[in-house]
A and B are shown apart, each in its own frame.
Chain A
Amino acid sequence: MTDAMIEFRDVSKRYGSLVANDHLTLRIRRGELMTLLGPSGCGKTTALRCLTGYIRPDEGRILLDGKDVTDVPTHQRELGMVFQNFALFPHLTVQDNVGFPLMIRNLPKDQRARMVTDALRLVRLEGFESHYPRQLSGGQQQRVGLARALVYRPKVLLLDEPLSNLDAKLREEMRFEIKELVTRLGITAVYVTHDQAEALALSDRVAIMHRGRLEQVGTPEEIYEQPQSRFVAEFIGLSNFLEGRIEAVDGASMRVTVGDLRLTAPALPHTGPGQRVLLFVRPNEIELLGPDEPAGENVFEAQVEKATYLGDSMDYRLTFGQGLALRVQGDAQRRLSPGAPVRLRLPRIRCWAITAG
């Protein structure tokens, strides 16, 4: 018995010269909500379709609940799936849409009706049984999709960008609803999305994909706080990168030269002086200091180049050192205008470093 419900073993899929999945190896644990996150064309949808059996991988095996299903056709894999465009059957009522998997399985009519009612209650859509999909709003249609996917209690629920076709407010609402439902049912779920906020909000673990490869797999905290590559850092919303070279390592911290400036950052394991590194700092973690505050560690003089009012905050582009630039989020109460001198601090523990080149 293994704790992995889904396993990709060295899965590759090519379309001509385009590599959609490049030796993908990923284990998804029982009862876990795993998100495949990445920009469009990164191979996340291909991976999902390999899992449904809609695409057969060129190489590698796919295991579902310990069984090799690489050559099992889609209709025998016992999956539930929610689609981006809902993919409901337009010619069937809500009742028949949700009951479709049960009808296909030749379940007796009364049992079918009971299960459909249960599934519709689960997604809070009772009373719509005789409606047709086109009579429902986007959010309601996606609930029907969810009920159809869950009605026969599959071991695995697949969600392919289920919220992309909904408006922003509804998206956030549904996000928590899906999370809550999946947790309550204890079902293993694979969620595909390109929206990093969505991924962070509802995943147990996130797998970030880029050009068919896995960039990093980890909990939302790990992904957010300890990105392992520039791609992950950028994709997850970081925008400040400083290239430097380690000057000295001193216990838990290290000194890094960036241009003509010296910074202190947490030490990077298995590195020494001379190693080139990339430092990330989030725009909202850089502190803007008053003019009378004393100089200190990682405090630099800078100049405001651009200031944008965002309502709840100010977005600045600051220049400092020799041609270095940073994006910084500031307090909307205290506004700085372009050209103004400013003093900033990069808090040491907020400077996350990875080795570069």
Chain B
Amino acid sequence: MRLARAYIRGLWDGRMILGYTLLLSLTLFIVAPFLMIALRSVGKGWFYRLWLPPQLTLDWYRWAVEVGNIPEVMKNTLIIGIIATAISTVIGIFAGWAFGRRQMPGKEVAMAIVLLPRMIPPITYALGVAKIFYTLELVDTYLGVALAHVSVCAPYAILVLSATFEGLDERVLEAAGVCGANTIKRFFYVVLPLIMPGILASMIFTFTHSYNEFTLTLLTYGPHTVTLPVRTYLAVGDGYWEITSAMAVIMVVPSLVILALIQRRAEPEKLVGGFKGV
């Protein structure tokens, strides 16, 4: 009996060890590449089979800023991200309201069409976009690149905001009406505060997506609209791994800031579903 119990405990411990090992390797799998990049961006003379760089330096960051023109590129990326987010959010609010609150024929088909840019391979889609944008002279403009981003960002906004509007309780709006609020007051005092979490979530999603967007940018950018992912990619082609690593690290920073904000500020269920019922 005691032996059996010991055996079971042993099995249990074994399982724990196995679990931790898996967890650790998973963490390493996620963290290791990032760790490598971070190390490489500050390492000097790190060749051959050395496990750690022999010397630490911030030179690569200076190079990235001066030669890679990172501040300018960062500015481009942020401006394009903000334009794309603004347009997507406006589209998302109207479309989300229609999808979430209205009964209309062909709703499923309309939703499928909205999601189409997300379904087909980005490069295929991007080629088509590029062709149109050359004709419209939208290539190498902030608006042009941002519009290209909207095609993949807006579906996110629409999805998130549809769910938000769907979660709005019709009865609460009715209650506001009975309480004496006209349409405008209803919108500002009730609807807007209730969909705000959804709008924020949608903005975070779309901004990150635009910020990280590569394929669509690659086919619509020009000398004035280089974004961080494209700049980093070009640097890889130039063969300067250390500078590329520095750029990659710089690129990660805003994402981490946003992630921290989400973690601290918002409860995830609020972000996606809005408030629901009682």
Chain A residues within CB distance 8 Å of chain B? 52-54, 73-81, 83-91, 100-101, 103-105, 133, 138, 141, 148-149, 152, 158, 165
Contacts and interface: CB of A to CB of B under 8 A. Distances in A.
Contacts of B171: 83-85, 87
Contacts of A103: 189
* Residue in B172, B179, B181, B182 with the greatest tally of chain A CB atoms within 10 Å: B179
B128 interface: no
Given A85-B169, A86-B278, A87-B169, A100 B179 contact: yes
A88 B172 contact: yes
Contacts, number: 74
A52 B194 contact: no
A165 B179 contact: no
Given A83-B171, A90-B194, A91-B193, A100 B176 contact: yes
B186 to A, nearest CB: 8
A80 B275 CA distance: 24
B181 A104 contact: yes
Contacts of A76: 180
Report which residue of B174, B180, B181 has the largest number of chain A beta carbons within 10 angstroms of its beta carbon.
Answer: B180
B277 A52 contact: no
Nearest to A105: B180
B75 interface: no
Nearest to B274: A90
Contacts of B179: 75, 100-101, 104, 148
Contacts of A88: 172, 175
Contacts of B177: 52-54, 73-75
> Could you tell me the dominant secondary structure of chain B's interface residues?
helix
Contact of B175 (A73, A87, A91, A152): A87
B185 interface: yes
Nearest to B181: A104
Interface of B: 169, 171-172, 174-182, 185, 189-190, 193-194, 275, 277-278
A148 B174 CA distance: 13
A141 B174 contact: no
A74 B175 CA distance: 10
Given A76-B180, A77-B178, 12 more contacts: A54-B174, A54-B177, A74-B174, A74-B177, A75-B179, A75-B182, A80-B178, A83-B175, A84-B171, A88-B172, A90-B172, A101-B179
Nearest to B276: A90
Among A79, A83, A89, A133, chain B packs the most CB atoms within 10 A around the CB of A89
A103 B180 CA distance: 10
A149 B180 CA distance: 11
A152 B193 CA distance: 24
Given A104-B180, A104-B185, A81 B175 contact: yes
Nearest to A151: B179
Nearest to B192: A91
B277 A85 contact: yes
Nearest to B179: A101
Contacts of A78: 180
Contacts of A85: 169, 171, 277-278
Contacts of B189: 100, 103-104
A79 B180 CA distance: 8
B190 A89 contact: yes
A260 B207 CA distance: 84
Given A86-B278, A91-B275, A165-B278, A75 B180 contact: yes
A158 B175 CA distance: 11
A227 to B, nearest CB: 33
Contacts of A165: 278
Contacts of A73: 177, 182
A75 B194 contact: no
A77 to B, nearest CB: 8
A89 B176 contact: yes
A87 B275 contact: no
A81 B175 CA distance: 7
22 contacts: A54-B177, A73-B177, A73-B182, A74-B177, A75-B177, A79-B178, A81-B174, A81-B178, A83-B171, A85-B278, A87-B171, A87-B175, A88-B172, A89-B172, A89-B176, A90-B275, A100-B181, A100-B189, A104-B185, A105-B180, A141-B278, A149-B178
